Amino acid sequence: MQWVIVWSVLVVATLAGATWLALRLYRQVRRFLAQLRDTTIVLERLEERIEELTELRGPDPAFTPDLAASPERRIRLRARIEENRARRRRRTQERRRRTLTRWQLERVVAARPDPRSRMNHTPSTQGGE
């Protein structure tokens, strides 16, 4: 008789736990779907706004070589190109200089013994004790 009661309690507890888990999962799925619906609405608005801004911007200007440019205009364009190249070279050199400095500093720090470490003591300081 005791086993019938024990098994009955176990079955009822299992069913109650499964019901609780199912309800919890159902509520989480409902919240997720509501959030998904809100996200869809926001994305639709965003898509409309992107289309508006794209229309306002107009078509992308295509590059067309200026074959009929005057010699003065070509000289100005070449000078502008050289200025851009020089700026790019300066930025690259500055970036490389910063990287080299950082690497050298890291190498110095890595070579420095850690004062907190007991392994850095030389045998002469540990010897006569």
* DSSP assignment of 33-68: HHHHHHHHHHHHHHHHHHHHHHHHH-SPPPP---TT
Write down the pLDDT at residue 32: 97
Q: What percent of the chain has pLDDT over 70?
A: 85
- Summarised one tens digit per residue, pLDDT across range 74-118 is 888 889 999 999 999 999 999 999 999 999 888 887 887 776 766
Average pLDDT in the chain: 87
Is residue 42 within 8 A of residue 50, CB to CB? The reply is no
Is residue 122 within 8 A of residue 129, CB to CB? The reply is no
Q: Is the pLDDT of residue 121 over 70?
A: no
